[in-house]
Amino acid sequence: MKILILGAGGVGGYFGARLIQAGADVTYLLRDKRHQIIQSEGLVVETPNETFTLHPKSVTRDQLKPEYDLIVLAPKAYDLDDALDSVSAASSRGVILPVLNGLSHIAKLDEKFGRARVMGGVAHIAATVTSSGSVKQLTELHALTVGHRDPAHEALAREFSALCQQAAFDHTYSENIEQSLWDKWVFLATLAGMTTLCRGHVGKISDAPWGKETMTSFYAESCAIAQANGFPTKESAQQKALAMLTKSGSSFAASMLRDLTQGHQTEHEHILGAMIDYGVKKGVPCPLLKAAHTHMVVEQNKG
Ligand SMILES: NC(=O)C1=CN([C@@H]2O[C@H](COP(=O)(O)OP(=O)(O)OC[C@H]3O[C@@H](n4cnc5c(N)ncnc54)[C@H](OP(=O)(O)O)[C@@H]3O)[C@@H](O)[C@H]2O)C=CC1
Ligand SMILES: CC(C)(CO)C(=O)C(=O)O
């Protein structure tokens, strides 16, 4: 299977590197600056246990041909339109696997490629790109869940899953990937909303007198929106998520907090704004999500 991965950032860089180590035929589609770095220095991956360098195949958009069976999209949500332009010379064939957080990108991809060509993916990792260009896995967490959304691409999705089984990360094949996407989204909206509002990680929030209660209410709001839209998070998954979201002493925080404190663009419209839209359409009250979203809009407008 020939795989094209758009983006060698935290998610694309990490999971792509692990797939290459496992023998997968991966090519990266990169913008000029990242392409030059990877061509000259290789793809450097730092994990909590080791640092390794790979020399992957990479192309820029002008070198692209429609020769891939699977096209993995790993840009930030605000770069999706540019990513779709960049990949256009290859995207007349193959199955598309987006690994972005949230869900609103799926509708856009379905509209462009048709549901029969768009599978689902959920990345569970805390990863970033360092100032020197390395991909850095910040914690031991590294899991990729994929699944088919249409019988037309089920065989390819399972073939890709078999490749993931060989790679050095945790992998699950989801028989209901849209539910998996919603489960991750309600968790992330809560984590991102609360850690950005409070400018602190889960442990700090849990130490505050009303921290656990507010986190729990935020999560309940997000779950109510998922439920109203036909994707109720199972009780067992809710308990597991709440345990992580309210754990005393935990240094867990969302990548949105890292982006905010480092002055980068953030995905608040995709993670918080789109969740509010789903809530408002179904008449679900979401005051905490609206407070978190308002805070992010004010922050980003500061320039
Ligand atoms: N980081 C994390 O811990 C997690 C992130 N996610 C989600 O995964 C998605 C990706 O996030 P993350 O990996 O952190 O983002 P990064 O910013 O680290 O990486 C995104 C990469 O996409 C590249 N890119 C964007 N547009 C194009 C284009 N047109 N052509 C080629 N490359 C392009 C960027 O390239 P360039 O270098 O040129 O800017 C960048 O290297 C997001 O939706 C995020 O929410 C999910 C789970 C965890
Ligand atoms: C919640 C987490 C860390 C899990 O992968 C994530 O996706 C993010 O912070 O963007």
pLDDT digits (tens, 9 = 90+) for 160-203: 999 999 999 999 999 999 999 999 999 999 999 999 999 999 99
This prediction's pTM: 0.97
* Stretch(es) of the chain classified as CATH 1.10.1040.10: 179-301
Per the listing, tokens 């797939």 go with 19
CATH dotted code for 179-301: 1.10.1040.10
Please tell me if the CB atom of residue 186 comes closer than 6 angstroms to any atom of ligand 2.
Answer: no
- Spacing, Cα 63 to ligand 2 middle (Å): 32
- Spacing, Cα 89 to ligand 2 middle (Å): 31
In the chain, % of residues over pLDDT 90: 99
Beta bridge partners of residue 263, listed in sequence order: none
Q: What is the pLDDT of residue 168?
A: 98
- Best residue among 31, 170, 258 to mutate for probing ligand 1, ranked by most atoms within 8 Å of CB: 31
Q: What is the pLDDT of residue 38?
A: 97
Q: What is the pLDDT of residue 156?
A: 98
Above 0.95 for ipTM, yes or no? yes
Whether 27 shows a pLDDT value over 80: the answer reads yes
d(Cα 8, Cα 134) in Å, to the nearest integer?
10
Beta bridge partners of residue 124, listed in sequence order: 143
Per the listing, tokens 């999209």 go with 73
The secondary structure of residue 262, as a DSSP letter, is: T
Q: What is the pLDDT of residue 302?
A: 86
The secondary structure of residue 90, as a DSSP letter, is: T
SS3 207: helix
* Two structure tokens written together for 106: 């799926």
* Atom number in ligand 2 closest to CA 101: 7
Is residue 16 within 8 Å of 5, Cβ to Cβ?
yes
* Stretch(es) of the chain classified as CATH 3.40.50.720: 2-175
d(Cα 201, Cα 203) in Å, to the nearest integer?
6
d(Cα 269, Cα 77) in Å, to the nearest integer?
9
Whether 151 shows a pLDDT value over 90: the answer reads yes
Residue minimizing CA distance to atom 1 of ligand 1: 127
Please tell me if the CB atom of residue 126 comes closer than 6 angstroms to any atom of ligand 2.
Answer: yes
Is residue 161 within 8 Å of 47, Cβ to Cβ?
no
Please tell me if the CB atom of residue 191 comes closer than 6 angstroms to any atom of ligand 2.
Answer: yes
Whether 11 shows a pLDDT value over 90: the answer reads yes
* Two structure tokens written together for 270: 């995709």
Give the model confidence (pLDDT) of 110-148 as tens digits.
999 999 999 999 999 999 999 999 999 999 999 999 999
Helix (H) or strand (E) holding 199, with range, is none
Average pLDDT estimate for 1-22: 98
Q: What is the pLDDT of residue 185?
A: 98
Name the closest ligand to CA 78: 1
| CATH entry, 2-175, from 3.30.70.20, 3.50.50.60, 3.40.50.720, 3.40.50.300 | 3.40.50.720
Whether 303 shows a pLDDT value over 90: the answer reads no
- Spacing, Cα 254 to ligand 2 middle (Å): 5
Average pLDDT, the chain: 97
- Spacing, Cα 13 to ligand 1 middle (Å): 9
Q: Given pLDDT bands bounded at 50, 70 and 90, which one contains residue 242?
A: very high
Query: DSSP secondary structure string, 223-247?
Result: HHHHHHTT-PPPHHHHHHHHHHHT-
Is residue 139 within 8 Å of 126, Cβ to Cβ?
yes
Residue minimizing CA distance to atom 16 of ligand 1: 9
**Please, what is the end-to-end C-alpha distance for the chain in angstroms?**
44
Residue minimizing CA distance to atom 7 of ligand 2: 124
Q: Phi-psi category of 249—alpha, beta or left, where left has phi over 0 and alpha has psi -120 to 50?
A: left
Is residue 178 within 8 Å of 120, Cβ to Cβ?
yes
CA 61 to chain centroid:
22
Handedness of CA 196, 202, 204, 210 (dihedral sign): positive
Per the listing, tokens 């970033």 go with 128
Helix 274-281, helix 211-228: angle, nearest 10: 60
